[in-house]
Amino acid sequence: AIVGTGIALVIYQNTIGLDPGQIGWLSGALTFFIAIGALVGGKLGDSFGRRSVFVVTMALIVVGGGLATFATTFPLLLAGVALIGFGTGADLPVSLATIAESSTDANRGKIIGFSNMLWLVGIISAVGIATFFGGLGRLGGQLLFGQVAVIALLVLLARFTIPETQTWLDANRNGATASAPKVRVRDILTGPYARLFWGLLGFYALTNLAANTMGQFTTYIWVNVVGVDVQLASLIGLVSLPVFLLFGLWFMRIVDTQYRFVYFTAGAIAYAASFFIPALFGFSFATMMIYTILNGIGGAFAFEGIMKVWTQESFPTMVRATAQGTILAVARFSAAILAVWTPLMLNSGPQWMFAGLGLVVTVGVTIAWVVFHNAPRNQFDTESETLVDSVVPAAVVEA
């Protein structure tokens, strides 16, 4: 939805008469409502259950995608983009909690990693539609928004068949007396989970600054700094995506094993080094290709995928989605603020900008290494043991 919306807005600019200011408002609204949605959706998912929220989020995306597909005026398009953003943001923490709570320790990381790969598939789909149908004018933009609405509708229908997770039902039923204490939001900010929460927040917010910046400006750098044409830059991006999928498959193989922190450490080094290579040796085709490969390795093993796994494992059921949503929201807001200044940083010198991004990534992955190198207790194990401890005495009394 995010990549497709960005491409569709460029197409709509020349077909329904959007001016640069309106494009800016629409892009900003998408980022803003994703962040707000993550905050609201996470809290609602913990309070009222995963299922009720992830059904509503898909419905919002369907309506938003439909509005954006057929909108011919700025207000309608703004409403559609806002609904897409809010629905997407609210869905992520709740969906991830559902996945984590419906899986086991043996496959939880793999399934979360697979969900991460589906985002890449979505990007490939959007780029593919733009490549083959972008020249059709407004119809090309409608196809991009329309596929969001259609896919969301199919997912909505499928989700009607998914029950509430047993983990949330047990936690909600038993409350503070059994499997999941009714931890308040302020408890994850200052209580026993604060170190994990602030560690994850610092790790993801900082590494996402670099990822979001390059997601927006990689093509710009290839064309305006390295000096290749747009077609070659687009081809490099398109060819890179399947390679990143292979890295994602590799992550799925190791994430539930004892070796995942070793891979995280190697990925963290690769992720930081990817930015320092152009910063130290200048911008050329060779240094940018090295950047692309190292960045792909780092992104697979030391970025969003492992953050999602750690977040699901680190917090009790009744605050799991809230913690995830807060982390995502802060990272989105931070990236949006930096995006305002990125063009100025590029103009002042791309090597300095890459050095700054490399430093930011280094700090982010170092925070994660310090917090997680001792492998904190998995909350799924803790809650299962507490639930057993609470059920067994009751069974003895009844007997």
H helical segments located in 19-107: 20-48, 50-70, 74-101
Q: What is the DSSP string of 135-202?
A: GGTHHHHHHHHHHHHHHHHHHHHHHTTPPPPHHHHHHHHHGGGTTS----HHHHHHSTTHHHHHHHHH
Average pLDDT over residues 315-319: 85
**In the prediction, which pLDDT does 38 show?**
92
Q: What is the pTM of this model?
A: 0.82
Give residue-wise pLDDT tens across range 110-139.
988 888 888 888 878 887 887 787 778 889
CA distance 3 to 348: 27
Going from N- to C-terminal start, the domains of the chain cover 1-164, 179-389
CA neighbor of 387 nearest in space, from 101, 97, 46, 45 = 101
Q: What is the pLDDT of residue 184?
A: 66
Given a cut of 70, is residue 398 above it in pLDDT? no
384, amino acid identity: S
∠ CA(36), CA(149), CA(305), 5° rounding?
A: 55
Cα distance between the two ends of the chain:
55
- The predicted pLDDT at position 10 comes to 76
- What pLDDT does residue 291 have? 96
pLDDT top residue among 83 and 233: 83
Distance of CA 274 to the CA centre of its chain: 20
Asked if domains 1-164 and 179-389 share a fold, the reply is: yes
Look at residue 306 and tell me whether its pLDDT is greater than 80. yes
Angle at alpha carbon of residue 326, lines to 163 and 310, rounded to 5°: 70
Sign of the dihedral through C-alpha 253, 254, 258, 259: positive
Second CATH level (architecture) for the domain 1-164 = Up-down Bundle (1.20)
Task: Please check the confidence at residue 75 and state whether its pLDDT lies above 90.
Answer: yes
Q: Higher model confidence: residue 90 or residue 378?
A: 90
- What is the arithmetic mean of pLDDT over 92-96? 91
Dist. CA 366–CA 88, nearest whole Å = 30
Best mean pLDDT range from 165-179, 191-205, 311-325: 191-205
Give per-residue burial for 103-131: e unless 16+ CB within 10 Å, then b.
beeeebbbbbbbbbbebeebbbbbbebbe
Residue 183 has pLDDT above 60, yes or no: no
Percent over 90 (pLDDT), the chain: 45
- 16-25, 110-119, 145-154, 353-362, range with the lowest pLDDT: 16-25
Q: Are 88 and 56 in contact (CB under 8 A)?
A: no
**DSSP, res 1:** -
For the chain, the residue count is 399
Which of the pair, 91 or 1, is modelled with greater confidence? 91
- The CATH superfamily assigned to 179-389 is MFS general substrate transporter like domains (1.20.1250.20)
Stretch 228-255: mean pLDDT, rounded?
87
Whether residue 362 has pLDDT greater than 80: yes
